[in-house]
């Protein structure tokens, strides 16, 4: 970075005729990398050869069998063969490998070695031959942990991007399904794949996604969250504008609706963009269960979206400003419960809510074996003991636990996180301005949400702006046969899911 | 950098504006004294005596959070009284006795003593319609006793006398008597206000133990109080009570006992009246005013002490005719009292004329309505049906031969 001129020349350095010089150059590059193996040998009596590979990334048995063995058995290479002919013979007749390639850039060699390929160089050849005999340790396909569903496929993405791509390809057997490969990160060179259905996804959005990803200037990408932060429309908004999922079926259904998936190597979380709030409140089960039941659950989810955001603040507002609006009997029992509580309702709510947040965070961080006991102790502390000690009132415990449960029903953790944060803002507003404050808060949130965009798609679409035809999949889930069209606020062409007039 | 500055600016604006609000209007629930009922009386020296029934929530709900089953010392209510020239004046004096802010949004009942009501109530009720915490759903009732005595009772189910009074009005009278209704009636032309009347009475009507009445009084619905404008005229109770209940019509728990004449075997039949409606239709014929009142009543026989055979439809129609007579006996004198004695149009005959003949009403009727109403001929029609005779048709224990058809 300090000496860009030198960097540029290094990037473009080519291989030269002298194999020894090439090896020397590569060895200086790879100095200290103990996993790299330089295996030198003779080919056809006269030529020197070397294979370079990382012994932790390749299958050495395959190399022995299908690279070294044929090379040893090649016999005498006729003198009249030039370097081009030798390369051709090596690639086409000698080495037995499905994926084979060649290149002449020096720095490409190191890259290839680190991504698990084997590099073959022969003296006199200006090109290096890249043979893919990768063997990566990977986790087997397991059930997604963060995206559970009662009914639906049990396979989840893994850390291996090829596996993930295979899970998608398996579901969409069409040449329209595209995988565009990019490398992101100056040091990490993380493989990132943009996937979409050509003809359904909007080309301008594809171009925008590609553009934003190529513009990322960072040393390393460790998780898709890193990419998400770089390509979001409003990075400082509380609301997530890109969905992440561990479920291939979810990703595929989004592809079918004209969205674009971004797969990142080394993480099971794929990104889906553009994304709207409405889609974040849809769970995969919704589409697999019977539609009436699914619609009911979805309505509940919307209802509790409001509850999770406003319930504690409504309690504060009613109990400190608008006691006249509480039914008389309820007021009596609330007053009786609050009789010995020393704190104002706002402070009481804050104590409880923060305790709950702490418990939840502790529950995630603690080892599984301890987690159970923490939740039991927590439940006793914030539930019974606090009430009995007169620190908080029983209605507040009910309110807090209800909002706590409500914030767990969102299919997406990052959406719940935004609601949890806003809840505190609403509580302060309610504690200072009463119902008036709550409405100010809701107005501000609404204004913010309608002004949000995700890759040009309004965040509240299809509610604002209203697209009547797409409402089939918002508050209710219409049966599959009734949803003949793809969501029209995303898909511009090929809107019909099944078009009998032409083939997709 | 610009974005950061903007952000800091916003943060400052938001956080500093919080200092501007303060929490002036906020009161914790612990800090309010919830007034559930107010009694207004006239004191001996001519001032207003106001009593506030303030609830003590900890003693009301049985499951008090925090500690297990507190020892139930202390009353569910606190009764505070003070004399003064106006409601707000007394409010201030009572407030001085309390460590919590008086809170009137949950005022359920206003009880007015008859002495005060006779002088007119719009003055003292003005506060309860004007003050920001009050609302017009508050019930208004009248008592012949001192108003505050209604709060000194042993309540039965309800821990609060106010709740007890409120529920009884709705159960027995079948309609609410809210401030809204009261003021509607005294401001509307052609109708006067009537307000339920409650008195304290003994729980047990055992004539032997006289002191029982003093020790253990209950609040009993006695009838209705008749108003003219905002002044109390008198009461429709005791003898007239049956008529009131029959005429008002909306009660669900109304019942009526029909005596059976001697020649039919004597005894009585009692009916429940689950549904009834009263319809006033005014008529002007040849400049003569007349009003038809149709009372539709459905009766269900739940007690048959007579020897009548209820399985016979002729008997049923006979009872229906007796039913009509009984109703007539109840309602005729009631209307007579209302027209002649009180001359107060509490059932809204004038309003009915106003609705049907608005020009005529505005031109001449309204100026001398009182006189017209006093002599208004009222025709009573009854639509009586007996729909149900209970689980039995023929009474048990009476031989078939003894039954009278």
- Give the least confident one: A444-448, B207-211, B267-271, B370-374: B207-211
Binned at pLDDT 50, 70 and 90, residue A471 comes out as confident
In order of start, what are the domains of chain B with their CATH numbers? 29-59+75-236 (no CATH), 252-405 (3.30.300.210)
N-to-C CA span, chain A: 48
* H or E element in which residue B185 lies: helix B179-187
- The whole-chain average pLDDT of chain A stands at 87
Question: To the nearest whole angstrom, how far is the Cα of A234 from the nearest Cα of chain B?
Answer: 12
Q: Do A345 and B57 touch (CB under 8 A)?
A: no
Q: What is the mean pLDDT of residues A129-156?
A: 88
Instruction: Using the CB atoms, write b or e for A441-467: b if 16+ within 10 Å.
Output: bbeebeeebeebebbebbbbbbbeeeb
Beta bridge partners of B228: B231
Q: Which residues of B touch A431 (CB under 8 A)?
A: 23, 26
What backbone torsions phi and psi does residue B161 show, to the nearest 5 degrees? Answer: -55, -35
Q: Do A337 and B103 touch (CB under 8 A)?
A: no
Q: Do A390 and B66 touch (CB under 8 A)?
A: yes
**Range among A293-302, A365-374, B200-209, B223-232 rated most confident:** A293-302
Binned at pLDDT 50, 70 and 90, residue B24 comes out as low
Strands B194-202 and A47-54: unpaired
Q: What is the mean pLDDT of residues A371-383?
A: 75
Residue B163 predicted with pLDDT over 80: yes
CB neighbours of residue A78 within 10 Å: 9
Helix A203-214 × helix A224-231 angle, to 10°: 110
Q: Do B64 and A336 touch (CB under 8 A)?
A: yes
CB neighbours of residue B88 within 10 Å: 13
Q: Do A335 and B23 touch (CB under 8 A)?
A: no
CA distances to B52, B73, B202, B219 from B216, in Å: 21, 20, 6, 10
CA distances to A49, A197, B160 from A43, in Å: 6, 47, 106
Strands A270-273 and A243-245: antiparallel
* pLDDT of amino acid B65: 42
Binned at pLDDT 50, 70 and 90, residue B156 comes out as low
CA distances to B123, B168, B273 from B76, in Å: 31, 20, 36
Q: Cis omega before residue B79 (within 30°)? A: no
Q: Which of B21, B30, B106 lies at the smallest CB-CB distance from A331?
A: B106
Which tens digit of pLDDT belongs to each residue from B92-134? 999 999 999 999 999 999 999 999 999 989 888 999 999 888 8
Which one of B29, B101, B139 makes the best mutation probe of the A interface by having the most chain A beta carbons within 10 Å?
A: B29
* pLDDT of amino acid A227: 94
Of residues B244, B145, B119, B130, the one with CA closest to residue B179: B130
B30 touches chain A (CB under 8 A): yes
Q: Do A328 and B27 touch (CB under 8 A)?
A: no
Q: Which residues of B touch A236 (CB under 8 A)?
A: 3, 7
A134: Cβ–Cβ under 8 A, 6 or more apart, which residues? A57, A58, A59, A115, A116, A117
Which tens digit of pLDDT belongs to each residue from A190-223? 999 999 999 999 999 999 999 999 999 999 999 9
* pLDDT of amino acid B68: 43
Q: Quick check: A426 and A310 in contact, CB under 8 A?
A: yes
Which one of B8, B14, B28 makes the best mutation probe of the A interface by having the most chain A beta carbons within 10 Å?
A: B28
Q: Do A323 and B66 touch (CB under 8 A)?
A: no
B147: left (phi over 0), alpha (psi -120 to 50) or beta: alpha
Q: Quick check: A169 and A157 in contact, CB under 8 A?
A: no
d(CA B318, CA B329): 17
CA distances to A334, A336, A393, B71, B278 from B68, in Å: 17, 13, 14, 9, 53
Q: Which residues of B touch A338 (CB under 8 A)?
A: 28-30
Residue A286 predicted with pLDDT over 70: yes
N-to-C CA span, chain B: 103
Which tens digit of pLDDT belongs to each residue from B365-389? 888 898 889 989 999 998 888 888 8
A219: left (phi over 0), alpha (psi -120 to 50) or beta: alpha
* pLDDT of amino acid A440: 92
- Give the least confident one: A141-145, A289-293, B254-258: B254-258
B6 touches chain A (CB under 8 A): no
Residue A285 has, within 13 A of its CA and on its CB side, a CA count of 17
Counting residues of chain B whose pLDDT is more than 90, the rounded percentage is 24
What backbone torsions phi and psi does residue B127 show, to the nearest 5 degrees? Answer: -55, -40
Binned at pLDDT 50, 70 and 90, residue A441 comes out as very high
Q: Do B64 and A390 touch (CB under 8 A)?
A: no
Q: Do B29 and A340 touch (CB under 8 A)?
A: no
Question: To the nearest whole angstrom, how far is the Cα of A374 from the nearest Cα of chain B?
Answer: 24
Of residues B143, B115, B245, B118, the one with CA closest to residue B200: B143
B77 touches chain A (CB under 8 A): no
Helix-strand-coil split of chain A, %, nearest 5: 50, 15, 35
What backbone torsions phi and psi does residue B335 show, to the nearest 5 degrees? Answer: -65, -35
Binned at pLDDT 50, 70 and 90, residue A1 comes out as very low
Of residues B350, B349, B294, the one with CA closest to residue B327: B294
d(CA A402, CA A405): 5
- The whole-chain average pLDDT of chain B stands at 83
What backbone torsions phi and psi does residue B172 show, to the nearest 5 degrees? Answer: -85, -45
Strands A128-132 and A117-122: antiparallel
Which tens digit of pLDDT belongs to each residue from B61-81? 654 444 444 444 567 888 999
Nearest CA in chain B to A429: B18
* pLDDT of amino acid B71: 43
Q: Do A324 and B133 touch (CB under 8 A)?
A: yes
Helix A435-451 × helix A413-433 angle, to 10°: 140
Indicate the length of chain B as a whole number.
405
* pLDDT of amino acid B164: 84
CB neighbours of residue A148 within 10 Å: 16
B57 touches chain A (CB under 8 A): yes
- Structure-token pair, residue A443: 């107005």
Q: Do B106 and A394 touch (CB under 8 A)?
A: no
Q: Cis omega before residue B86 (within 30°)? A: no
* pLDDT of amino acid B66: 42
- Structure-token pair, residue A466: 């209203």
d(CA A31, CA A42): 24
What backbone torsions phi and psi does residue A300 show, to the nearest 5 degrees? Answer: -55, -40
Q: What is the DSSP letter of A105?
A: B
Q: Do B26 and A321 touch (CB under 8 A)?
A: yes
Q: Quick check: A294 and A284 in contact, CB under 8 A?
A: no
B27 touches chain A (CB under 8 A): yes
Q: Do B65 and A431 touch (CB under 8 A)?
A: no
CB neighbours of residue B27 within 10 Å: 17
Q: Quick check: B319 and B300 in contact, CB under 8 A?
A: no
Question: To the nearest whole angstrom, how far is the Cα of B369 from the nearest Cα of chain A?
Answer: 41
Work out the angle at residue A111's Cα, subtended by the Cα atoms of residues A185 and A159, and round it to the nearest 5 degrees. 60
d(CA B76, CA B89): 26
Q: Which residues of A touch B65 (CB under 8 A)?
A: 336-337, 387, 393-394
Counting residues of chain A whose pLDDT is more than 90, the rounded percentage is 39
Strands A190-197 and A243-245: unpaired
* pLDDT of amino acid B174: 63
Counting residues of chain A whose pLDDT is more than 70, the rounded percentage is 96
**Range among A259-268, B3-12, B149-158 rated most confident:** A259-268
Q: Do B34 and A433 touch (CB under 8 A)?
A: no
Q: Quick check: B345 and B382 in contact, CB under 8 A?
A: no
* pLDDT of amino acid A4: 44
Q: What is the mean pLDDT of residues A10-23?
A: 79
Work out the angle at residue A32's Cα, subtended by the Cα atoms of residues A26 and A37, and round it to the nearest 5 degrees. 60
Q: Do A388 and B66 touch (CB under 8 A)?
A: yes
Quickly tell me which residue has 């006239």 as its tokens: B42
Q: Which of B3, B36, B103 lies at the smallest CB-CB distance from A323?
A: B103
Q: Quick check: B279 and B294 in contact, CB under 8 A?
A: yes
Q: Quick check: B334 and B247 in contact, CB under 8 A?
A: yes
Q: For A142-189, where are the E strands, in sequence order?
A: 177-184
Strands A453-454 and A457-458: antiparallel
- Cα-Cα-Cα-Cα dihedral of A230, A236, A240, A243, to 10°? 0
d(CA A272, CA A168): 13
- Cα Dmax for chain A: 105
């Amino acid at each position: 970075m300090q000496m860009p001129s030198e960097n540029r020349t290094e990037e473009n350095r080519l291989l030269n005729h002298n194999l020894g010089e090439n090896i020397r150059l590569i060895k200086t590059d790879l100095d200290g990398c103990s996993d790299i193996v330089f295996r030198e040998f003779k080919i056809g009596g006269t030529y020197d050869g070397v294979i370079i590979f990382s012994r932790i990334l390749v299958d050495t048995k395959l190399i022995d069998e299908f690279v070294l063995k044929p090379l040893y058995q090649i016999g005498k290479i006729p003198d009249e063969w030039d370097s081009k002919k030798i390369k051709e013979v090596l690639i086409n007749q000698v080495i037995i490998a499905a994926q084979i390639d060649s290149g002449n850039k020096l720095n490409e060699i190191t890259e290839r070695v680190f991504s698990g390929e084997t590099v073959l160089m022969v003296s006199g050849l200006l090109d290096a031959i890249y043979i893919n005999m990768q063997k990566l340790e990977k986790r087997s396909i397991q059930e997604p942990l963060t995206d559970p569903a009662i009914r639906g496929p049990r396979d989840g993405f893994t850390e291996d991007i090829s596996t993930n791509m295979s899970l998608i390809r398996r579901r969409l057997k069409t040449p329209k399904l595209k995988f565009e490969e990019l490398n992101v990160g100056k040091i990490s060179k993380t493989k990132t794949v943009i996937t979409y259905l050509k003809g359904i996804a909007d080309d301008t959005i594809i171009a925008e996604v590609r553009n934003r990803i190529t513009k990322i200037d960072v040393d390393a990408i460790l998780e898709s969250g890193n990419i998400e932060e770089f390509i979001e429309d409003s990075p400082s908004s509380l609301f997530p504008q890109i969905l992440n999922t561990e479920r291939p079926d979810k990703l595929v259904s989004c592809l079918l609706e004209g969205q674009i998936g971004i797969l990142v190597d080394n993480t099971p979380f794929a990104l889906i963009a553009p994304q709207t709030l409405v889609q974040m409140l849809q769970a995969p089960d919704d589409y697999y269960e019977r539609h009436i039941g699914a619609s009911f659950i979805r309505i509940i989810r919307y209802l509790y979206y409001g509850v999770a955001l406003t319930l504690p603040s409504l309690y504060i507002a009613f109990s400190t400003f608008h006691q006249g609006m509480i039914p008389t009997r309820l007021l009596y029992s609330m007053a009786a419960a609050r009789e010995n509580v020393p704190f104002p309702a706002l402070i009481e709510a804050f104590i409880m809510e923060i305790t709950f947040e702490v418990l939840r965070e502790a529950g995630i961080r603690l080892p599984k074996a301890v987690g159970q006991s923490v939740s039991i102790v927590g439940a006793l502390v914030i539930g019974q003991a606090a009430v009995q000690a007169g620190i908080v009132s029983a209605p507040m415990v009910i309110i807090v636990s209800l909002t706590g449960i409500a914030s767990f029903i969102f299919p997406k953790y990052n959406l719940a996180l935004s609601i949890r944060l806003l809840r505190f803002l609403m509580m302060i507003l309610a504690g200072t301005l009463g119902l008036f404050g709550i409405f100010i808060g809701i107005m501000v949130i609404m204004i913010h949400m309608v002004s949000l965009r995700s890759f040009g798609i309004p965040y509240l679409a299809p509610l604002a702006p209203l697209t009547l035809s797409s409402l089939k999949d918002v508050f209710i889930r219409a049966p599959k046969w009734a949803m003949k069209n793809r969501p029209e606020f995303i898909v511009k062409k090929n809107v019909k899911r099944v078009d009998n007039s032409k083939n997709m | 950098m610009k974005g950061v500055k903007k952000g800091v600016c916003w943060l400052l604006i938001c956080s500093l504006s919080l200092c501007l609000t303060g929490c002036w209007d906020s009161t914790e629930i612990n800090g309010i004294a919830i007034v559930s009922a107010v009694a207004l009386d006239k004191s001996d020296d001519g001032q207003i005596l106001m009593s506030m029934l303030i609830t003590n929530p900890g003693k009301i709900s049985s499951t008090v959070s925090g500690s297990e089953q507190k020892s139930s010392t202390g009353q569910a209510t606190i009764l505070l009284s003070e004399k003064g020239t106006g409601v707000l004046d007394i409010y201030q004096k009572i407030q001085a006795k309390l460590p919590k802010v008086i809170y009137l949004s949950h005022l359920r009942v206003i009880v007015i003593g008859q002495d005060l009501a006779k002088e007119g109530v719009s003055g003292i009720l003005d506060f309860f319609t004007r003050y920001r915490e009050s609302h017009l759903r508050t019930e208004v009732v009248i008592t012949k006793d001192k108003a505050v005595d209604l709060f000194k009772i042993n309540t039965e189910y309800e821990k609060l006398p106010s709740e007890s009074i409120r529920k009884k009005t709705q159960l027995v009278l079948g309609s609410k008597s809210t401030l809204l209704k009261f003021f509607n009636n005294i401001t509307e032309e052609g109708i006067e206000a009537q307000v339920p009347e409650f008195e304290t009475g003994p729980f047990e009507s055992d004539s032997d133990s006289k002191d029982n009445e003093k020790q253990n009084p209950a609040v009993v619905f006695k009838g209705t109080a008749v108003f003219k404008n905002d002044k109390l005229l008198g009461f429709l109770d005791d003898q007239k009570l049956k008529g009131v209940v029959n005429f008002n019509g909306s009660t669900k728990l109304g019942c009526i006992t029909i005596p059976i004449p001697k020649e039919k075997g004597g005894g009585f039949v009692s009916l429940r009246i689950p549904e009834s409606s009263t319809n006033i239709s005014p008529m002007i014929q040849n400049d003569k005013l007349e009003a038809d009142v149709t009372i539709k009543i459905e009766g269900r026989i739940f007690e048959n002490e007579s020897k009548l055979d209820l399985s016979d439809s002729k008997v049923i129609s006979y009872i229906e005719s007796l039913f009509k007579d009984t109703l007539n006996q109840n309602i005729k004198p009631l209307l007579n009292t209302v027209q002649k004695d009180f001359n107060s149009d509490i059932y809204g005959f004038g309003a009915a004329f106003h609705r049907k003949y608005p020009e005529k009403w505005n031109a001449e009727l309204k100026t001398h309505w009182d006189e017209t109403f006093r002599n208004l001929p009222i025709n009573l029609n009854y639509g009586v049906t007996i729909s149900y005779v209970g689980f039995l048709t023929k009474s048990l224990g009476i031989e078939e031969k003894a039954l009278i058809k």
